[in-house]
Structure 1
Amino acid sequence: MIKNPYLKSFKDYLKLERSLSANSIDAYLTDIDKLSQYLESVDKPVNFKEVTKDDLKLFITWVNELGMLPSTQARVISGLKSFFSFMLLEQIISVDPTELLESPRLSRKLPDTLNTIEINQLIDIIDASKPEGMRNKAMLETLYGCGLRVTELISLRISNIYFENEYIKVIGKGNKERIVPIGAAALKFIKIYIEESRVHISIKKGYEDYIFLNRGGTGLSRISVFTTIKALAVKAGISKSISPHTFRHSFATHLIEGGADLRAVQEMLGHSSITTTEIYTHLDRDYLKGVITEFHPRS
């Protein structure tokens, strides 16, 4: 990554003032690096104080010709907007060159979901006699029962579970806390895992309060959760391309199909905007057909 005197300050700003995760910060810095690469490729000095709107338009054309998807282009533009807004805030520049820069129009892809039969298949296929079996059952029940992101799942603490009240405290994006109800099935498997399986793990210092641990006694990685779910899907004969996020999609979709209030689902998912939650209002054709048949006066 090209060195720049403003990047260190920008990185500190993202971490301290916007409370972004390390992954998000790296994504922002990568976007700025792409602009640096472009400026070098056209023999322009990498001086962000002198970047103009026209430079950025040509840069967007450049990344488009590289074959980047519109969603990736939109993310890059978002990263640049944040960087130049920071530059303006710090009075490094007097005019924000991204102010009128438009992002490409994105089609909203409906997320894949699992039906309840498929979710049961995935959970039932787990061999609870294996050391990690009960942990995996508890993980999947929690993903589906609470609609968690994978990072929220792997950072979940024992002290964040209120067993008597059936709630969990979740630390979401931007270190925002939210309280989410947790179902009886998830609580049951978490209790069994903690009391009968987890107690046999030699837990490393600093991980005593983490619920989900690997064999080495440290926290799970995002990749290990992905790998576990992919392997279970193959074993269960489910051909859909699924990930931990599929359980979150399914959680939201099943609630809304069951008649749950959209704002309640927004609160449980930890979405800052209701428009983000609205993507989960897609319903399968059979469900829509049933609604029309039952309720439309001319059906």
Structure 2
Amino acid sequence: MNAPVVLPGGSLQLPALVTAADGRTRIRFLEFFAAEIRNANTRRAYARAAGDFLTWCESHGVGSLAAIVPMHVAAWIEELGREVAAPTVKQRLAAIRHLFDWLVVGQIVPHNPAASVRGPAHVVRRGRTPVLEASEAKALIESIDIAGDAGLRDRALIGLMVYSFARIGAALACRVEDVFVQNRRLWVRLHEKGGKRHEMPCHHQLEEYLQAYIDGCGLTDPRSPLFRTISRATKQLSETPLPQANAWAMVRRRAKAAGIDTAIGNHTFRATGITTYLKNGGTLENAAAMANHSSTRTTQLYDRRKDDITLAEVERVRL
């Protein structure tokens, strides 16, 4: 590997097969991540997949990008299937297909070796995201000490994900100006994947959490990040946006402190909010609109009402 190349949203290590190629190949490879992939999370995932695959190829005696054939891709996919779950394998295969499509169009390689390789079968009817009961989510939020900036921030962030069904990426992308008054109610503007802007009114509880956070922490600059890290020196908000990994660690820490054993993550609150909404008589169509899903099929993955039925039926086994 060479020294990392700085790209929008992070850096990228050039695999040896790319480093050994000519300048035109290196530029085309980098342009794929800089120009073709706009989402930062997708860029990181695709860069990891490309790096792993090309490193694997080099270790198996492949001398250049043009020498890669479908058999290499298939063998790599077969190995991956023994180490990671099927959705991860499919994502990484998609990354390699997309990358080589880009290289073919740029006349770097003559064909796409991943085009004919089939990934593992994977049918999803039920989401795997851990979900909290409404009482657990309430207990977690109420357990947060809001005497300082950290507590106010954490309560507002978790509340935003629960009551607006926000993705963690959209929540962390919010600026102070994205919380605004309209029709005498507080609204929130979420910047979703694909450049979509999604606006919705705040639940009265979320309105309380956000207003207390903004006022209590003195967030006055409309263009500044809404959710930020906490300065170790002052224990107050810094000017640095809160990274997603830090938010995940905060969520796990808060859950443990609240006595919740479920191994939750950031996405748990989106699934918890949707499931609770549906349990209380909400419709799947409205849930999809609130979650900014293009299809109710996606929303159904977050609908965990059937878990209650399953548990009830299991208890029928009486000895």
The equivalences for 1:133-152 within 5 A come to 133-152=151-170
What does residue 133 of structure 2 align with? 115
Q: Contact 2:28/2:103 (CA < 8 Å) preserved in 1?
A: no
Alignment check: 8 A CA contact 1:110 1:282 kept:
no
Q: Report the secondary structure of 2:188's partner residue.
A: strand
Point out where structure 1 has 5 or more consecutive residues left out of the alignment.
291-299
Q: CA deviation at 1:84?
A: 1.5
Matched position secondary structure for 2:145: coil
1:162, 1:287 → 2: CA distance? 40
Aligned to 1:193: 213
Say whether the 8 Å CA contact 2:176–2:222 is kept in structure 1: no
Find the counterpart in structure 1 of residue 228 from structure 2: 213
CA-CA distance at 1:257 after TM superposition: 3.0
How many Å apart are 1:231 and its aligned residue?
Answer: 1.9
* One of 257, 274, 296 as aligned partner of 1:252: 274
Whole-angstrom distance in 2 between the partners of 1:253 and 1:194: 28
Q: For residues 276 and 85 of structure 1, do their structure 2 counterparts lie closer, same or farther at Cα, with a shift above 3 Å needed?
A: farther
Does structure 2 conserve the Cα–Cα contact (< 8 Å) formed by 1:28 and 1:79?
A: yes
Whether the aligned pair in 1 keeps the contact of 2:271 and 2:303 (CA below 8 Å) is no
1:182 equivalent to 2:202? Answer: yes
Partner in structure 1 of residue 3 of structure 2: none
Q: Which amino acid aligns with 1:240?
A: T
Percentage of matched positions with identical amino acids: 19
Code of the aligned partner of 2:166: L
Q: 1:128 is aligned with what amino acid?
A: I
Once residues 203 and 283 of structure 2 are traced to their aligned partners in structure 1, the CA distance between those partners, rounded to angstroms, is 18
Q: Relative to 1, partners in 2 of residues 1:131 and 1:44: Cα closer, same or farther, differing over 3 Å?
A: closer
Report deviation, 1:121. 0.3
What residue identity is the alignment partner of 2:206?
A: A
Residue 4 of structure 2 corresponds to which residue in structure 1?
A: none
CA distance in 1, matches of 2:32, 2:60: 30
Task: Give the distance between the partners of 2:52 and 2:141, measured in 1 at CA.
Answer: 42
Match of 2:190 among 165, 170, 173: 170
1:240 corresponds to: 262
Higher helix residue share: 1
Alpha carbons 2:33, 2:47 under 8 Å: kept: no
SS at match of 1:170: strand
5+ residue gaps, structure 2: 1-13, 19-23, 232-237, 313-319
Classify the secondary structure of the residue corresponding to 1:214.
strand
Aligned equivalent of 1:293: none
- Provide the secondary structure at the position in 2 that maps to 1:280: coil
Relative to the length of structure 2, the TM-score reads: 0.78
Instruction: State whether structure 2 residue 35 is matched by structure 1 residue 16.
Output: yes
The one-letter code of the counterpart of 1:42 is H
Please report how far the alpha carbon of residue 220 of structure 1 lies from its aligned counterpart in structure 2 after TM superposition: 1.7
For residues 7 and 172 of structure 1, the distance between their equivalents in structure 2, rounded to whole angstroms, comes to 31
CA contact (8 A) 1:70 1:104 kept: yes
Match of 2:75 among 55, 58, 61: 58
CA RMSD, Structure 1 to Structure 2 (Å): 2.7
Instruction: State the match for 1:294 in structure 2.
Output: none
**Partners of 1:213 and 1:289 in 2: CA distance:** 40
Q: Check conservation: 1:256, 1:280, Cα contact below 8 A.
A: no
